[in-house]
Structure 1
């Protein structure tokens, strides 16, 4: 197989593939594509979510999944201690192991990792969140979540150099005030974005729709690409619900070093290769980072990233 966009895959930047955790996402096509890309010399890191299985595990344990709305209107899971136990069982225990086995069955020398392993994904634990309940702002304590501030890129680079394909998932390593580590929840799209930024990798966000729709109710209105700030604003304005988090993740990846991000359908034939070849919605780095500016220091990149954090952190 020749590399997407010409040349051999060995000469191309790494690819970070985020496989969605919704029940409607079939990973089979992505697994085959990763196997082909790796066989052709491309470095690939897989990051996966698992919201559906987490909810099923929570319910099986006799609890109710709880979602809360932040002060800025973003809906997310409230993860208390019991929920965090179920989350870790489902994500690191069940899903990561099963997905790693599927990759190995396809001939990929996959290594399963949670964000805690080797300090792969780390940042301060958030033990309280500001939420809106019945129109009133409240503080909910006992939360187990965090914002990724550090990626152990050396760990990933070492595995890739040795021929392994990392398969990564939350939880992340939550840093406590006494320097201990607590496994905590973090958004899988943003985890994939952090990894892509740390590796200067292309990011493919696979989901159950064909991309970002200009009209959220019309699949025929896929926005093909955004290569300018105006184009990115159009994408951001069109993104609703879960897609808004993916666009937020795309912005974070691009400002931290990813050359481009593609939001694409996981359920088409050869979903990753097709995305790299132009299907879905492609967001170029120039859409969020001014020419010649670094992601962390560029004025546009810094402002966008700060806004993204505020949207989630409330």
Structure 2
């Protein structure tokens, strides 16, 4: 079995438990690929430099970072120089041989660059230009398989390599989905909540199983803000061939194994047929 673990970059996510779980799974013979975000680290770095982080909402309600040239420089520094190195160090300390990668390394994540993005501002749809982001079209699965076959655990993150040869931002949730689809893997997306809630303010309303189209429609209706992006990524992973997707709590005890054993929100291919 291959498991792709997405470790979220929210401030409330503490990765230590997830890293210990990755090491335990690898020791048991499971192939694991880690994909991570870094929104908090990027925001903190921007603020230290006196730059205000900017998030925009798409007409479909998905919230994401607007990445201009200046932000892109800070993004590369924070993701590779801090977050990726910290996660690789943590895995090494758990006895797991890890290799840090960006989506640019070996052409791991490639695709077209967006010339503009559609956003919703004050209830009106607008076009914003100058965004340095792209859509993943291809994943270098051979590179990941080579590392896994050699006993290494890949730890990957944006940026990706755009088709014009420039490193650009891409969403880490969708990056993890693309990797899971390429490897026909189970995707465990760890975040700062216990799953998708029917009532966003009530953790007791977590949606456990999403395996029919009706359940999927309920899931989409319940997912708001950043969770909408995770549900979109889950859909892309399953459509691409991933075995299943679990959205679960990064701070739970043994968070990955807990998710694989039934914790969190489980989405299977029957939901999107």
Change beyond 3 A, Cα 1:106–1:185: same
Deviates more, 1:21-30 or 1:60-69: 60-69
The higher radius of gyration belongs to: 1
Matched, 1:192 2:176: yes
Report what 2:27 is aligned to: 39
List aligned pairs for 1:71-220, cutoff 5 A: 71-176=59-164, 181-220=165-204
User: Could you tell me how far 1:68 is from its partner in structure 2?
Assistant: 1.9
User: Could you tell me how far 1:137 is from its partner in structure 2?
Assistant: 3.4
User: Could you tell me how far 1:29 is from its partner in structure 2?
Assistant: 0.7
User: Could you tell me how far 1:35 is from its partner in structure 2?
Assistant: 0.5
Report what 1:287 is aligned to: 271
- Tell me how many residue pairs correspond in the alignment: 273
Determine helix, strand or coil for the equivalent of 2:50.
Answer: coil
User: Could you tell me how far 1:23 is from its partner in structure 2?
Assistant: 0.9
Matched, 1:17 2:5: yes
Report what 1:264 is aligned to: 248
- Listed as ranges, the gaps of 5+ residues in structure 1 are 1-12, 290-314
What are the superposed Cα offsets for residues 6-30 of structure 1, whole Å, 9 maximum, x if unpaired?
Answer: xxxxxxx200000000010010110
2:211–2:270 CA contact under 8 A, matched in 1: yes
User: Could you tell me how far 1:127 is from its partner in structure 2?
Assistant: 2.9
Report what 2:228 is aligned to: 244
1:68–1:78 CA contact under 8 A, matched in 2: yes
TM norm structure 2: 0.97
Report what 2:259 is aligned to: 275
Q: Distance in 1 between matches of 2:36 and 2:241?
A: 21
Change beyond 3 A, Cα 1:139–1:234: closer
Aligned with residue 43 of structure 2, among 42, 51, 55: 55
- Point out which structure has higher relative CO (alpha carbons under 8 A, 6+ apart): 2
Determine helix, strand or coil for the equivalent of 1:216.
Answer: coil
1:92–1:171 CA contact under 8 A, matched in 2: no
